[in-house]
Chains A and B, each alone.
Chain A
Amino acid sequence: MIWVDTIVQGILLGGLYALFAAGLSLVFGVMRLVNLAHGDLIVLGAFLILVLVTALGLNPFIAAAVALPVMFGLGWLLQYHVLNRTLGDDILPPLLVTFGLSIVIQNALLESFSADSRRIPAGALETASISLGPIAVGVMPLLTFVSAVGVILGLNLLFYRTELGRAFRATSDDAVTAGLMGVDPKRLFATATGLAMIVVTIAALYLGTRSNFDPTIGPARLIYAFEAVIIGGLGSFWGTLAGGIIIGVAQTLGAAINPEWQILAGHVAFLVVLLARPRGLFPRATD
């Protein structure tokens, strides 16, 4: 029974990792950009929600809703004015600029909030749990997982059922031709990063309410997100969810054997998949 419990907790944890990964997957899918500051942007979002909760006394969910447009705008401006300049055949500029951005965000947060561990207070929800048959499941982990499924569902609908999604896919396939059809790739990329930041804010809400965070934990979140995307296969949102779940389950199983092995087990699962299925479990894109 303990193993079933461990695996269920792992699946729910996987929901959090899928939320980390969905934004990364979205941006990569549209413009082949890997944002090395992705993890730090999640932490930035968590601090923004924390400030709204403590300064205005808002409920964390309301605070996240307030943060959403702010983060969307930030992502839009970041893409339009900075990251768009780095896109091209050469992979160095986007990598090095986003790496620099990661260092800048971390140190700006350190300067503003110190290195102390923080947590977004969520009241009674923090400890609430419900029984699913023989096992008890925390309400927050369950909410995280449901949100992850919702986000993935939403992104799929957006990509395959809307005009914006069609423009995303067209630009992803061939930006020049899409431009001839009246799509402005620069604005479209800015919109995509804005949307990714909405997902980032949702991820930040659960990151901040479920565990402690400090300005330096961003890179580790980036790595989990990246592993989930690669395991799932590039370009597949459902694959990203599956990848997140695999990392989550590997981590809780590793931790059940030896608490020091939690993080290591997740990385090892990633390396095994990379060795056995280099293109991931559900690949869609070819690069």
Chain B
Amino acid sequence: MSAGARSSWTVQTRTRAATVFAVVAVIILAVAIAAPLFVSRGTLQDLFFILTMLVLAQNWNLLAGYAGLVSVGQQAFVGFGAYAMFACVSLWGLDPVSAILVGGIAAALLSIATGFFVFRLYGAYFAIGTWVVAEVVRLVLAQWRALGGGTGTSLPNTAIRDFGPVEWISDAFGVRSSQAADILTYWLALVLVCATIGFIYWLLRSRQGLGLAAVRDNQEAARSVGVDARRIKWIVYVAVAFATGLAGALIYVQKARISPDAAFSVIDWTAYVIFIVVIGGIGTLEGPIVGVIVFFILQKTLADFGSWYLLVLGLIGIAVMLFAPKGLWGLFSDRTGIQFFPVRRILKGGPTFDKPGTRGGPHG
């Protein structure tokens, strides 16, 4: 094949559906930013819940669905980020937004320390290993008397009320400071969702992401062509811990009350998140978005039935895993071929004697 013929090939990932979706996404985002102007405070809190669960779900999806690191101990980073934020605000007088950043950094540092333990375990044992680590962190933080020990503590009221941006929102919108705080945390959650999805999408389309997909599909083969599997897994583990810590700190700025059992709850921060990703579709960026919407609707519908809710959620999760392992989005995408966040590299153009069209597997 001549050099000229080869140069006419192009690799692209864009699809028409994705272009349409990008336009729709911008409109949705604009509406979402303006939401505090026209929705009630209760709705705003629901949206905050959906957004933060989406951040956790996207991160767990990156970890388990793309890097093959199935963790059931992500509550370690939610709780640690939240506790770091609490310590910064109530013990050292930092403002809440800087404290959220500190929470993320603290979680990332924790992941580096704990990575040395959990990366000694593989597969299913990695999963339980992360759970042990989360338990250890919970038990240690329950000893922290200054933050209420085992019973927990609340954020000082003034820390949020007297924070500059909260006062500004309060004046600009003419609302009370508690509502202004909800608006601020909602906007921060929106930023975090966009940053998380943007980062993951960028990562998956980058060289590193190609390596990640290669490692997931066949670790030995990927290593044989020079992909440093261990390094990529470390990077993902720490990056996910950072984002999970940010989300944890943000959630607890909004809750304003913390206890070890709540902040390190395996049900709230890992079980729900796993069900969201599995029901929506693991290993896709769209899956967690679909999953979090289904999850929220289920929760609203079954809220009055107590433990029946989790029972139903668990059964749905099992059924999806057994009969539709790609989740709801996978079912939809397989039938329609639509992808909103295409990461598949499509080979187009080329010599005229060869039929132009699509080549390559799902990841390249």
Q: Does B135 contact A (CB under 8 A)?
A: yes
Contact B139 A264 (CB under 8 A): yes
- A100: chain B residues at CB < 8 Å are 275, 314-315, 317-318, 321
- A34: chain B residues at CB < 8 Å are 123-125, 127-128
Contact A267 B128 (CB under 8 A): no
Interface size on B, residues (CB 8 A): 43
- B214: chain A residues at CB < 8 Å are none
Q: Does B143 contact A (CB under 8 A)?
A: yes
- B120: chain A residues at CB < 8 Å are 274-275, 278
User: How far does the alpha carbon of A9 sit from the alpha carbon of B143 in the complex, in Å?
Assistant: 25
Contact B267 A103 (CB under 8 A): yes
A33 to B: closest C-beta gap in Å: 8
The CB with the most chain A CB atoms within 10 A, among B140, B267, B308, B318, is that of: B318
B333 to A: closest C-beta gap in Å: 18
Contact A223 B282 (CB under 8 A): no
Stretch at the interface among A58-66, A87-95, A124-132, A168-176: A87-95
**B205-228 vs A: 1/0 string, CB under 8 Å?**
000000000000000000000000
Contact A97 B132 (CB under 8 A): no
B238 to A: closest C-beta gap in Å: 19
Stretch at the interface among A12-20, A106-114, A141-149, A202-210: A106-114
> A227's closest neighbor in chain B, by CB?
B132
Cβ-defined partner of A107 (8 Å) among B131, B132, B282, B307:
B307
Contact B310 A103 (CB under 8 A): yes
User: How far does the alpha carbon of A267 sit from the alpha carbon of B133 in the complex, in Å?
Assistant: 8
**B48-88 vs A: 1/0 string, CB under 8 Å?**
00000000000000001000101010000000000000000
- B64: chain A residues at CB < 8 Å are 92
Contact A274 B140 (CB under 8 A): no
Contact A95 B322 (CB under 8 A): no
Cβ-defined partner of A104 (8 Å) among B140, B314, B321:
B314
Contact A222 B318 (CB under 8 A): no
User: How far does the alpha carbon of A198 sit from the alpha carbon of B266 in the complex, in Å?
Assistant: 28
Cβ-defined partner of B322 (8 Å) among A82, A99, A110, A260:
A82
- A219: chain B residues at CB < 8 Å are 131, 266
User: How far does the alpha carbon of A230 sit from the alpha carbon of B117 in the complex, in Å?
Assistant: 13
- B274: chain A residues at CB < 8 Å are 96, 99
User: How far does the alpha carbon of A100 sit from the alpha carbon of B68 in the complex, in Å?
Assistant: 18
| B-contacting residues, A181-239, CB 8 Å | 219-220, 222-223, 226-227, 230
Contact A110 B72 (CB under 8 A): no
- A271: chain B residues at CB < 8 Å are 117, 132, 136
Q: Does B9 contact A (CB under 8 A)?
A: no
> A108's closest neighbor in chain B, by CB?
B311
> A105's closest neighbor in chain B, by CB?
B314
Q: Does B100 contact A (CB under 8 A)?
A: no
> B120's closest neighbor in chain A, by CB?
A278
Contact A95 B124 (CB under 8 A): yes
The CB with the most chain A CB atoms within 10 A, among B116, B120, B266, B307, is that of: B307
User: How far does the alpha carbon of A93 sit from the alpha carbon of B278 in the complex, in Å?
Assistant: 10
Residues of B contacting A: mostly: helix
Q: Does A67 contact B (CB under 8 A)?
A: no
B54 to A: closest C-beta gap in Å: 19
> B305's closest neighbor in chain A, by CB?
A111
- B321: chain A residues at CB < 8 Å are 86, 92-93, 96-97, 100
- A268: chain B residues at CB < 8 Å are 136
- A33: chain B residues at CB < 8 Å are 124
- B129: chain A residues at CB < 8 Å are 274
> A265's closest neighbor in chain B, by CB?
B139
- A94: chain B residues at CB < 8 Å are 124
Contact B139 A96 (CB under 8 A): no
Q: A91-B123, A96-B278, A287-B122 are in contact. Are A101 and B132 (CB under 8 A)?
A: no
Contact A263 B123 (CB under 8 A): no
Cβ-defined partner of B128 (8 Å) among A36, A263, A264:
A36
User: How far does the alpha carbon of A96 sit from the alpha carbon of B124 in the complex, in Å?
Assistant: 10
- B314: chain A residues at CB < 8 Å are 100-104, 107
- A111: chain B residues at CB < 8 Å are 306-308, 311
Contact A270 B132 (CB under 8 A): yes
Contact B278 A223 (CB under 8 A): no
- A227: chain B residues at CB < 8 Å are 132
User: How far does the alpha carbon of A99 sit from the alpha carbon of B131 in the complex, in Å?
Assistant: 12
Q: Does A85 contact B (CB under 8 A)?
A: yes
> B313's closest neighbor in chain A, by CB?
A103
Cβ-defined partner of A36 (8 Å) among B127, B282, B325:
B127
Contact B70 A95 (CB under 8 A): yes
**A140-179 vs B: 1/0 string, CB under 8 Å?**
0000000000000000000000000000000000000000
> B143's closest neighbor in chain A, by CB?
A260
> B131's closest neighbor in chain A, by CB?
A223
Given contacts A94-B124, A100-B315, A227-B132, 11 further A-B contacts (CB under 8 A): A82-B322, A93-B325, A100-B314, A103-B313, A107-B310, A107-B311, A222-B128, A223-B135, A230-B125, A264-B139, A274-B117
Can you report 25 A-B residue pairs in the complex whose CB atoms are below 8 A from each other? Answer: A34-B127, A36-B72, A82-B322, A91-B124, A92-B64, A92-B70, A93-B321, A93-B322, A96-B317, A100-B318, A103-B267, A103-B317, A107-B308, A108-B311, A110-B307, A219-B131, A219-B266, A223-B132, A226-B125, A227-B132, A230-B125, A260-B142, A260-B143, A271-B132, A275-B120
Give B contacts to A, CB under 8 Å.
Answer: 64, 68, 70, 72, 116-117, 120-125, 127-129, 131-132, 135-136, 139-140, 142-143, 266-267, 271, 274-275, 278, 282, 306-308, 310-311, 313-315, 317-318, 321-322, 325
